[in-house]
Amino acid sequence: MNLHAIRAIYTFEMNRALRTLLQSVVSPILSTSLYFVVFGAAIGSRIETVEGVSYGAFIVPGLIMLSVLVQSVSAASFGIFAPKYSGAIYELLSAPASFIEVTAGYVLAAATRSLVIGLIILGTSFLFIDITILHPFWMIGFLMLTCLSFALFGFIIGIWARNFEQLQLVPMLIVTPLVFLGGSFYSITMLPPVWQTITLFNPVVYLVSGFRWAFFGAADVSVGWSVLAIAGFTLVCLAVIAWIFRTGYRLRK
C-alpha cells in the first residue's frame, strides 16, 4: 500500500481547499444564514410545527444535506477533473500508486472538506435556532457516510466529464433537484399519496430522513432503510470506480 501517495494527494487537495477558503467556508455560511432568515424566520413563523419540531429546526438536517451533497460532488469531481484538464494526470498515471490509493486520496479530501462545511452549517444553525440532537453519534455517522459516498459519486463524475459543462451538469441538474425534492424542506407525508410513492425512488429521501431521525427521532422512512440506501449507493459507486480503473475508462489510452 502506497500510503505516501494517499497522503500526498490528500494534502494537495486540502491545500487547494485552503486556497479557496472564502469560497469553501464563507459561502455556505452565508447561504445557510439566508435560508434560516427566509425559511426559518419569515416563512417558518407562519408554520406551526412539522412532526413536532419547529419549522426552523426541521429544515436544519435538510440544509446540511443540501450543502454536503453538492460540496462532496463538486470537490471530488473537480479534484480529478483538474489534472485531466491541465494534463497533469500523466503524473498520477505514471506513479506507482494503485487506483484504490488515488481514489482514496481524492475522495477522503473531498469528504473531509464537505464534512467540515456540514459541521460549520450545523454550528451556524445554533446561532438561529435551539436544537437538541437526540442521537449525536448516528448524526455524525450519517454525515460521514454521506460525505464519503457522494465524494465517490463526484469522483466518477470528474472522470466521466470531458469539459467544464459536463462537470457542472450532474451537480446542477441532478443532485440539487434530488435534494430539493428529497424532503429537505418538508416531510414527505405532506405530499399527495402518489407523489409520496414517486418520492421513494429518490435516494436522497433516505439520506435526509435518516439524518433527520438522528436529530429529532422522527423519520419519513425507517432508519434501517436509510442505512441500507447509503450503503447500497456507496457500493454501487465503488463498483463503478473499480470498473473504471480496470478498463482505464477516459483515463488511460
Partner 1 sequence: MADIVSVRDVQKTYDSGFQALKTVSLDIREGEVLALLGPNGAGKTTLISLICGIARLTGGTITVGGHDVVTDYRATRRLIGLVPQELHLDPFEKVINAMRFTRGLFGFPQDDALIEKVLRRLALWEKRDSRIIELSGGMKRRVLIAKALAHSPRILFLDEPSAGVDVELRKDMWRIVDELKKDGVTIILTTHYIEEAEAIADRIAVIDKGEIKLIQEKAELMRQMGRKQMIIELQQPVDAVPDTLAPYGLELGEGGTLVYSYDTRGERTGITKLLSDISAAGLTLRDVQTHQSSLEDIFVDLVQGDAQ
Q: Establish if 100 lies at the interface with partner 1 (CB under 8 A).
A: no
CB of 11 to partner 1, least distance (A): 7
Contact 186, 50 (CB under 8 A): yes
User: Toward partner 1, which CB reaches closer, 2 or 199?
Assistant: 2
| Grid coordinates of 188 | 414527505
Pick the stretch among 93-101, 125-133, 139-147, 223-231 that binds partner 1 (CB under 8 A): 93-101
Q: What does residue 130 show for φ and ψ, rounded to 5 degrees?
A: -85, 115
- Taking CB under 8 A as the criterion, the residue among 5, 17, 115, 181 binding partner 1 is 5
CA distance 172 to 137: 31
Q: What does residue 53 show for φ and ψ, rounded to 5 degrees?
A: -120, 155
Pick the stretch among 47-55, 82-90, 155-163, 205-213 that binds partner 1 (CB under 8 A): 82-90
SS3 for 187? coil
Q: Establish if 43 lies at the interface with partner 1 (CB under 8 A).
A: no
| Grid coordinates of 10 | 490528500
CA distance 179 to 61: 11
- Taking CB under 8 A as the criterion, the residue among 18, 19, 23, 177 binding partner 1 is 19
- Taking CB under 8 A as the criterion, the residue among 14, 43, 82, 144 binding partner 1 is 82
- Taking CB under 8 A as the criterion, the residue among 92, 120, 161, 167 binding partner 1 is 92
Q: What does residue 252 show for φ and ψ, rounded to 5 degrees?
A: -105, 125
Residues 220-249 that bind partner 1 (CB under 8 A): 248
Please, how many CA atoms are within 13 Å of residue 79, restricted to the half-sphere of its CB?
A: 33
Residues engaged in binding partner 1 (CB under 8 A)? 2, 4-5, 7-9, 11-12, 15-16, 19, 82-83, 86-98, 248, 252-253
